[in-house]
């Protein structure tokens, strides 16, 4: 099988801002900004590929950015202790300008998962590249984010697809579990261990219907982001019966023409197949021991590259709704390409399969 790792690494490095931010898709009208969700997985991929300097720069940028808003975050945390919720646009944003600016442009910003992803990615960075940079700012920023998540993890918020504001999403809870767990022994984050236990109980008691996990509490459909529960967050192991049943349902209902769509009712760009989610399914199978299915996912991804090796966010499938594809293409242009998160997940899957 062709390995195109250099393209993924080259595009990520080429587009990383010198100060450390990874813009989601620099040439796409809506994605020049740096999402914590995308960036955290890009940094993880770079660490897996041994490019620790790139990941270190990202983490240092996040720490500096978050600490810039420290007073603001402290005010929100204090309000939560009084039982008050911050105003909608006072919650930390899902994305920042690459210069660390908080863009007050009405984006559906209240998405907690990215902050969980960042804590998880930072812990992975420290595991994979120990003792590399001054940890003071990183520790302070991580503790601040940890206390913020302990205060707000149970608030309904937008999901990883920036939708469904009023729900509690299983994949978001998994992300918060993973992030807060990295700090559960930190004296600077009181209540972390209790929060981790409470999130685990919420996931296993309220996010399971008929023996498998659901998109959000009250919605029995599956969403491909449910893969995160096991891979990589390990809230439950890959072989857990509920996880397996969830993956089977994802494969039955969301895999179309070999690629993985987000959820059955998705209309964004007609509901196409996502590169990063197909990589995720492959990553799950590789970790669960089914390497031939993992290789099939990688082969599908390789077929989606353009002549320069660039990967988009999503590609149309035989089930794509043309009306919605037209709507979004007219509004925003063709699907974002290159999407750095797509390249990162392709890289992770390829590294996971290295040696095959
Ligand atoms: C996706 C998010 C992603 C953002 C930037 C949105 O369309 O739903 O998950 O973080 O694009 O890539």
pLDDT for position 3: 41
For atom 7 of ligand 1, the residue with the nearest CA is 161
For atom 6 of ligand 1, the residue with the nearest CA is 161
Pair 138, 125: CB distance under 8 Å:
no
Report whether residue 257 contacts ligand 1, using a CB cutoff of 6 Å. Answer: no
* Cis-peptide, bond into residue 77, ω within 30° of zero: no
Domain boundaries, the chain: 5-354
Pair 312, 329: CB distance under 8 Å:
no
Q: Is 82 exposed, middle or buried (CB count within 10 Å of its CB: 0-12, 13-18, 19+)?
A: exposed
Q: How many residues does the chain have?
A: 356
pLDDT for position 131: 78
Is 162 an annotated catalytic residue?
yes
Distance CA 77, CA 65 (A): 18
Q: How far is the CA of 31 from the centre of ligand 1 (A)?
A: 8
pLDDT for position 5: 58
Q: How far is the CA of 41 from the centre of ligand 1 (A)?
A: 12
Distance CA 50, CA 53 (A): 9
What are the helix and strand counts (H, E) for the chain?
13, 8
φ, ψ for residue 119 (rounded to 5)? -60, -40
Instruction: Show pLDDT as tens, one digit a residue, over the chain (356 residues).
Output: 334 458 999 999 999 999 999 999 999 999 999 999 999 999 999 999 999 999 999 999 999 999 999 999 999 999 999 999 899 999 999 999 999 999 999 999 999 999 999 999 999 999 999 877 768 999 999 999 999 999 999 999 999 999 999 999 999 999 999 999 999 999 999 999 999 999 999 999 999 999 999 999 999 999 999 999 999 999 999 999 999 999 999 999 999 999 999 999 999 999 999 999 999 999 999 999 999 999 999 999 999 999 999 999 999 999 999 999 999 999 999 999 999 999 999 999 999 999 77
User: What count of other Cβ atoms lies within 10 Å of the Cβ of residue 60?
Assistant: 17
Which residue bears the tokens 């989601």?
24
Report whether residue 169 contacts ligand 1, using a CB cutoff of 6 Å. Answer: no
pLDDT for position 258: 98
User: Which two structure tokens, joined as six digits, stand for 199?
Assistant: 């999130």
Sequence-distant (6+) residues with CB within 8 A of 230 are: 236, 237, 238, 240, 243, 284, 287
* Paired sense of beta strands 208-209 and 212-213, if any: antiparallel
CATH topology of domain 5-354: Glycosyltransferase (1.50.10)
Report whether residue 162 contacts ligand 1, using a CB cutoff of 6 Å. Answer: yes
User: Which two structure tokens, joined as six digits, stand for 232?
Assistant: 């990589």
CA distances from 188 to 55, 132, 184, 185 (A): 24, 22, 9, 9
Terminal CA-CA length for the chain: 9
Of the listed 90, 162, 163, 302, which one is catalytic? 162
pTM recorded for the entire structure: 0.97
For atom 1 of ligand 1, the residue with the nearest CA is 161
Q: C-alpha angle 336/6/289, rounded to 5°?
A: 85
């Amino acid at each position: 099988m062709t390995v195109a790792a250099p393209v993924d690494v080259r595009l990520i490095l080429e587009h990383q801002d010198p100060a450390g931010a990874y813009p989601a898709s620099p040439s796409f009208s809506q994605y020049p900004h740096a999402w914590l969700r995308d960036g955290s997985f890009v940094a993880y991929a770079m660490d897996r590929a041994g490019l620790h300097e790139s990941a270190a720069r990202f983490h240092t940028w996040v720490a500096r950015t978050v600490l810039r808003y420290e007073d603001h975050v402290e005010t929100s945390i204090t309000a939560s202790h009084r039982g008050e919720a911050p105003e909608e646009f006072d919650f930390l944003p899902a994305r920042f300008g690459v210069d660390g600016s908080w863009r007050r442009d009405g984006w559906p910003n209240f998405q907690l998962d990215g902050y969980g992803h960042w804590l998880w990615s930072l812990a992975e960075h420290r595991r994979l590249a120990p003792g590399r940079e001054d940890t003071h700012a990183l520790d302070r920023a991580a503790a601040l984010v940890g206390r913020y998540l302990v205060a707000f993890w149970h608030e309904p918020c937008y999901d990883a697809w920036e939708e469904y504001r009023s729900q509690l999403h299983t994949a978001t809870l998994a992300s918060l579990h993973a992030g807060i767990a990295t700090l559960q022994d930190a004296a600077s984050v009181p209540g972390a261990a209790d929060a981790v236990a409470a999130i685990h109980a919420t996931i296993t008691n309220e996010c399971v219907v008929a023996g498998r996990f659901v998109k959000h509490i009250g919605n029995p459909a599956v969403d491909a982001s449910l893969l995160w529960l096991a891979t990589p967050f390990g809230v439950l192991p890959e072989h857990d019966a509920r996880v397996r049943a969830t993956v089977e349902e994802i494969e039955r209902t969301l895999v179309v023409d070999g690629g993985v769509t987000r959820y059955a009712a998705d209309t964004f760009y007609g509901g196409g197949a996502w590169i990063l989610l197909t990589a995720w399914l492959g990553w799950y199978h590789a970790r669960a021991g089914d390497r031939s299915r993992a290789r099939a996912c990688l082969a599908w991804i390789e077929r989606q590259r353009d002549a320069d090796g660039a990967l988009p966010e999503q590609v149309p499938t035989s089930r794509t709704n043309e009306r919605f594809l037209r709507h979004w293409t007219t509004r925003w242009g063709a699907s974002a390409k290159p999407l750095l998160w797509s390249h990162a997940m392709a890289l992770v899957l390829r590294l996971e399969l290295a040696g095959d």
